[in-house]
Amino acid sequence: MSTVADQLCALLPPDAYDGAAQLLSALNRADASSLEAANRAGDQVLDRVWPDNAAALGDWERVLGLPDPCVVGDDLTVRQRVAAVIAKLRGVGGQSRAFFIQLAASLGYEVTITEFRPPRVGMVRAGDPVAGEGWTSAWRVNAPAVTVFRAVAGTAAAGEALSVWGNKSLECRLSAMQPAHATLIFGYGGN
Of 124, 125, 115, the C-alpha closest to 187 is 115
Where is pLDDT greater, at 160 or 184? 184
Res. 136: pLDDT tops 80: no
Res. 112: pLDDT tops 90: yes
Q: Beta-carbon neighbour count of residue 142 at 10 Å?
A: 17
Distance CA 33, CA 69 (A): 45
CA 119 to chain centre: 40
Distance CA 107, CA 81 (A): 9
> pLDDT-based confidence at 132, cuts 50/70/90?
low
Say if CB 179 and CB 135 are below 8 A apart: no
Residue type for position 51:
P
Alpha-carbon Rg for the chain in angstroms: 28
* Sign of the C-alpha dihedral computed for residues 152, 158, 160 and 162 taken in this order: positive
- Lowest average pLDDT, out of 23-37, 43-57, 79-93, 114-128, goes to 114-128
Q: What is the pLDDT of residue 142?
A: 94
Res. 74: pLDDT tops 80: no
Res. 1: pLDDT tops 50: no
Q: What is the pLDDT of residue 191?
A: 54
Mean pLDDT over 94-113 rounds to 88
